[in-house]
Structure 1
Amino acid sequence: MHVLVAGILILLVLLIPFFFFGLIIGLIMNGRTMIKKEGRRIANLLPMFAGLGFLLLFIAGIAQGLTINSPLLWVVYFFILTVIAYFTFFFITFLVSTFIYQYNFPRFNQDFIIVLGSGLIGERVPPLLASRLDKATSFFWQQADKKGKHATIIVSGGQGADELTSEANAMRKYLIEKGIPENYIIMEDQSVNTLQNMQFSKAKMDAIMERYNSIFTTNNFHLFRASLYARKAGLKSQGIGSKTAFYYMPSALFREFIAIVMMHKKVHLIIIGFFIFLSLQFWHFHYSYRGGNKK
């Protein structure tokens, strides 16, 4: 048994280079797919940038290994690796949290269902937003069938500069076409981001009743961050996620991760500052040691 476990561990270690280069190739190829399907926007290029970044890091590591008597480069490289290790750990934590949030199953006793907006194409509901509305529609009818209770759907989203109508109005029309009675739909058409989606929707619900149960629908990759904003808005609301095209997930997850990092940017800047301090201490120790030897 011990021999088998040792053999598996050795095999995994030997496969690490293949996993690393496979990740690089996969990210670059996904970036190409995103460009073809979604256009040449910066957000769609994130997987490709990440893949190229890992490749450059590998090349820089080889170059650094071949560099002779360059302690400054070692300190810089140490700092870069420390920062990457920190954000890699944070990214893994984010992925685990995102995965766990996929398996949230709210009870069929909801008074409100909030649908978070995600942008329009002119005045048309695109597939990404349609999946959120379809998820809300499905829950609406399931609860009505199982409990005989109809939830009120709050469609939340203002009008962007390139949109011909508010997201809320376009979503309202979409739901009506899908068979949702208009008297069970409330529009919140002032919000411009997820935090405002939560804050303004909460105000709508608070104005109707003092105590209520609510959920929100969004895409699965957005569940974790949306839940953080719900708490920040003082809203006790669980989320249910709609499926997202597989090719879209890497880019979406990178964007979500960056957004969550920016939510706590002051904390991360303090930690990076601590890493800089450690690197400078290492540099100071190195030269003090060399100076002591010369004496």
Structure 2
Amino acid sequence: MFFAYAAIFFLLIFLVLYVWDRRRISNGIFLTLGLFSGLLFILYWAFAATASSRSDILQVLVTGLLILLVLLIPFFFFGIIIGLIMNGRTMMRKESRRLANLLPMFLGILFLGLFIWGIAQGLVIGGSPILWLCYFFVLLVISYFTFFFVTFLVSTFIYQYNFPRYHQDFIIVLGSGLIGDKVPPLLASRLDKAMDFYYKQEKKTGKKASFVVSGGKGADELISEASAMRKYLVSKGIPEAYILMEDKSINTLQNMKFSKEKMDTIMDSYRSIFVTNNFHLFRASLYARKAGLKSQGIGSKTALYYMPSALIREFIGIVMMYKFVHLFIVGFLFFVFAVLVFMQLL
């Protein structure tokens, strides 16, 4: 019953925090812990029921299912490796050879290297305790960040189901880079999503929201992202009077801060939403909260092949947001590792 109580406890904490504020990484942590505890309870209950059952058929089915799941683990592991490497090749072909686009390939190669390291250490090096400690330390650190990555995916997934009400005063559209002075498809999808919300709100309530296009000028861009976005919206029939430009920001946090300053000068009290791509939605919500902006987000769709690279980059961004927490935890693990190595040397 311990796992059942743990599942209920973690899920209740998740519900309270989610209702309080959806823009928290802790929401995903508690939901992940609750779901994992629930899964352990179901497995424990299934095996307990099987052990007490007199049905040979039931025992054979449960045992067979367990063996099948164990046998599928290697296929799942190597499937992830192959999928990541192939996705990296796809990104090179369809996008460019920028480092960010090659992250899935590098991650797949890293997992493959760890597997080869473990096999080689067992077959060739043998039983060196210190080298095994090094190997398990690396695995432990990777396991920690894997758990955090799962919580990030869970948080990102549940935040997709965010449906702001049609009573907004402002729609913030976050920039994402230009091709010269043109709006690329990724940014166009954000603007189209914003216009879709704009027209739906006008149809349902008669209220017109103002757009806040947010993004400065990059080194390889001819004009600011805000200027290009404004031109795109005007070309689609949005009146210029309903478009505000924020053209100084160079990152998502500044997008939120500077857009808030723009809106604060117009109204003392207002309602706003922000628009970005679905993979960026959750991290952007964390920055909105950090900037003191009471705004939820809606996400535009992204090409499926682009998602692995984008999610890995988003994860790295969130890790950096909480870098001191992660440094403390990894530092503690390293301290334990160093103590164990010292004991082996004595």
User: Normalized against structure 1, the TM-score is what?
Assistant: 0.95
Within a 5 Å distance, the mapping from 1:212-223 to structure 2 comes to 212-223=270-281
Of the candidates 178, 183, 191, which is equivalent to residue 133 of structure 1?
191
Within a 5 Å distance, the mapping from 1:89-238 to structure 2 comes to 89-238=147-296
Instruction: Quote the offset at 1:155 in angstroms.
Output: 0.2
1:8 aligns with 2:65: yes
Inter-partner Cα distance in structure 1 for 2:64 and 2:273:
48
Distance 1:152 1:5, change over 3 A: farther
User: Cα deviations across residues 210-254 of structure 1 (Å, max 9, x unaligned)?
Assistant: 111100000000011000000000001000000000000000001
User: Cα deviations across residues 52-78 of structure 1 (Å, max 9, x unaligned)?
Assistant: 000000000111222224122111111
**Helix, strand or coil at the partner of 1:119:** coil
Whether the 8 Å contact between 1:29 and 1:48 is mirrored in structure 2 is: yes
Partner residue, 1:17: 74
Partner residue, 2:89: 32
Counterpart amino acid of 1:138? D
Within a 5 Å distance, the mapping from 1:25-64 to structure 2 comes to 25-64=82-121
Counterpart amino acid of 2:313? R
1:246 aligns with 2:304: yes
Q: After alignment, is 277-286 or 106-115 more displaced?
A: 277-286
Inter-partner Cα distance in structure 1 for 2:67 and 2:166:
49
Instruction: Quote the offset at 1:2 in angstroms.
Output: 5.5
Whether the 8 Å contact between 1:78 and 1:279 is mirrored in structure 2 is: no
**Helix, strand or coil at the partner of 2:200:** helix
Instruction: Quote the offset at 1:3 in angstroms.
Output: 4.5
Counterpart amino acid of 1:83? V
List gaps (5 residues or longer) in structure 1.
289-295
Partner residue, 1:293: none
Counterpart amino acid of 2:109? L
Distance 1:150 1:74, change over 3 A: same
**Helix, strand or coil at the partner of 2:275:** strand
Whether the 8 Å contact between 1:43 and 1:251 is mirrored in structure 2 is: yes
Counterpart amino acid of 2:318? I
Inter-partner Cα distance in structure 1 for 2:336 and 2:291:
37
Counterpart amino acid of 1:171? M
Partner residue, 1:259: 317
Instruction: Quote the offset at 1:179 in angstroms.
Output: 1.3
Inter-partner Cα distance in structure 1 for 2:63 and 2:168:
52
Distance 1:129 1:2, change over 3 A: farther
Instruction: Quote the offset at 1:169 in angstroms.
Output: 0.5
Inter-partner Cα distance in structure 2 for 1:129 and 1:74:
48
Inter-partner Cα distance in structure 2 for 1:69 and 1:33:
41
User: Normalized against structure 2, the TM-score is what?
Assistant: 0.81
**Helix, strand or coil at the partner of 1:286:** helix
Partner residue, 1:291: none
Partner residue, 1:81: 139
Partner residue, 1:283: 341
Inter-partner Cα distance in structure 2 for 1:46 and 1:207:
41
